[in-house]
Structure 1
């Protein structure tokens, strides 16, 4: 099933028969056949006709809205999964502390294991003693996970590991003009954090789509606290995939100079091609640094290439795309909740 990103600012999305048509200033930019179209991601100032909205809802085409800055806004969904019995099981399991802790341990174990693999792969080439030290510290934390008896303690371990990981992450960047001094967000303050935040938003969208498909409630998880409007389950399931699909991609794009410093700009530079007319000037000025329109398109293309890349998936003993692996992990969670299997995180080799 296809996913289409619409990034052309000031464009208009209409329908004609079974086709979606993107126009700008009365010129047709692209035509999309609705057949096998799973999702449309609309970024920035793109208008939809009422007939188009009705068509997307009728066809069940998940439609996601993001700002030009990479912030998730919302989505059109024709209906959540109708599996109320599954949600009852989910609510019951997430109300039992032992079950919550057991599942949360798997999420944290997957994340830490994959972060270590990313660091270890880097060190095969560069032999950095600082990275070696970080690997050892994270290994010690990994061994503590099984002995944890409270969710708060587990979150403390995850926090320590994140501090070690992002404390060393900058040493993996090998270009001189882009540096990383630590993770920051809301807003991201430098090019690396801009890319990480955008990548995590795109990954969150992928996981939420899969959660909606199987019929779980995206807002009830176990590792991330439950807050109004916060898709806690989606954030839980994302953890093991962050280093696999986003962190490694950001390093690749920067170190291979696919994305350069010239792909970013500051608000005072007023890059018109990327201006999102649905945002206010004050919002724009609150963001220290932004991706250009070209930079955004480059990142999206490479993110889609990565998530459609096929690798060996142990649970099925088959080569699957990362997108399909995300779905299989959500389905594994369903079987776990039903008591049919134990959840095991996806581990990068």
Structure 2
């Protein structure tokens, strides 16, 4: 599996023969194309059409973020794993209200279950007062499975996540990283800034893994398929955000790897990570994705990044009627 390149500084992005060249006024870096899958661009980078053609031929995705570290979009190379049979089956499962609801419920159940697993971890290991919130997750999960529409289902998932977020101050101790309320654009405090930034990384990382399967990321089941965005990556990411994003946030805060000095306020309002803060979080994120766990069914170690792709493969089997999809459930 190739690696991801994160570009934080301004400069130029080009290629020489079969090598990616990243250059700025201070240095020139050469990266073999064979070992590269994705490039995350945070700085003001110049590139041209020839470089995009080079990325297309080598199946490299480019993810763009603005100066506030908001995700702006992805250069998505021409699909190379297209399968007419899979796309037709995916569309049928989306257009059939009953089949779509089945999958949407599974995504919500997977998300709520992994929220509960995160809470249970801190309830058992840190003896924190999380019992009522854990019980609420069970109630939300049960309620979600009784819904007959997507909008109602998303409302239940949203309520479950709000209740889950209300426990964050118990886990982190509040203070410098008090949750208060969930705020997004712009985030109003440090914890919200961390959540928003890492959630966007989770979405684009999931998108990149879907790209390596036969599925079409534009056709989702829980999140609406529309003209504006990819949606299947949002569906799958819901399951993994508690595991990948939230656990990482708690680790960064509790180990004091990320601190108040790594954030700054903006003139237009909101709190954002500084460049140093972004570097710390990106390094921790990449280490998290490369970390491995013992897979309960395969009986071998797999990385968290691989788990995302495996989730897409499981979904593919479901829509082809090979095997019923069951969302990944973390075990600690």
* TM-score clears 0.5: yes
The count of corresponding residues between Structure 1 and Structure 2 is: 330
| CA distance, structure 2, for counterparts of residue 333 and residue 302 of structure 1 | 28
Determine helix, strand or coil for the equivalent of 2:122.
helix
Q: TM-score if structure 1 supplies the norm length?
A: 0.89
Structure 1 pair 126/315, CA: closer, same or farther in 2 (3 Å)? Answer: closer
Q: TM-score if structure 2 supplies the norm length?
A: 0.93
| CA distance, structure 2, for counterparts of residue 121 and residue 98 of structure 1 | 35
For 1:158-180, what per-residue CA distance to the aligned partner results, in whole angstroms no more than 9, with x for missing partners?
Answer: 12211211122222113632211
Residue 97 of structure 2 corresponds to residue 97 of structure 1: yes
Matched residue, 1:171: 170
Residue 154 of structure 2 corresponds to residue 155 of structure 1: yes
For 1:254-285, what per-residue CA distance to the aligned partner results, in whole angstroms no more than 9, with x for missing partners?
Answer: 111101110011224xxxxxxxxxxxxxxxx3
Compute the displacement of 1:49 (Å). Answer: 4.1
Compute the displacement of 1:133 (Å). Answer: 0.8
C-alpha RMSD over aligned residues = 1.8
| CA distance, structure 2, for counterparts of residue 288 and residue 308 of structure 1 | 31
Matched residue, 2:279: 297
Q: Is the 8 A contact 2:202 2:237 kept in 1?
A: yes
| CA distance, structure 2, for counterparts of residue 233 and residue 67 of structure 1 | 23
Structure 1 pair 139/8, CA: closer, same or farther in 2 (3 Å)? Answer: closer
Matched residue, 1:332: 314
Residue 228 of structure 2 corresponds to residue 229 of structure 1: yes
Matched residue, 2:75: 76
Unaligned runs of 5+ in 1: 269-284
Matched residue, 2:9: 9
| CA distance, structure 2, for counterparts of residue 8 and residue 317 of structure 1 | 38
Compute the displacement of 1:64 (Å). Answer: 1.7
Compute the displacement of 1:128 (Å). Answer: 3.1
For 1:177-214, what per-residue CA distance to the aligned partner results, in whole angstroms no more than 9, with x for missing partners?
Answer: 22111211122111111111111111111111122221
| CA distance, structure 2, for counterparts of residue 105 and residue 298 of structure 1 | 35
Q: Is the 8 A contact 1:307 1:323 kept in 2?
A: yes
Q: Which runs of 4+ in 1 moved over 6 A?
A: none
Matched residue, 2:36: 37
Q: Is the 8 A contact 1:120 1:135 kept in 2?
A: yes
Matched residue, 2:113: 113
Matched residue, 2:326: 344
Compute the displacement of 1:225 (Å). Answer: 2.1
Q: Is the 8 A contact 1:169 1:180 kept in 2?
A: yes
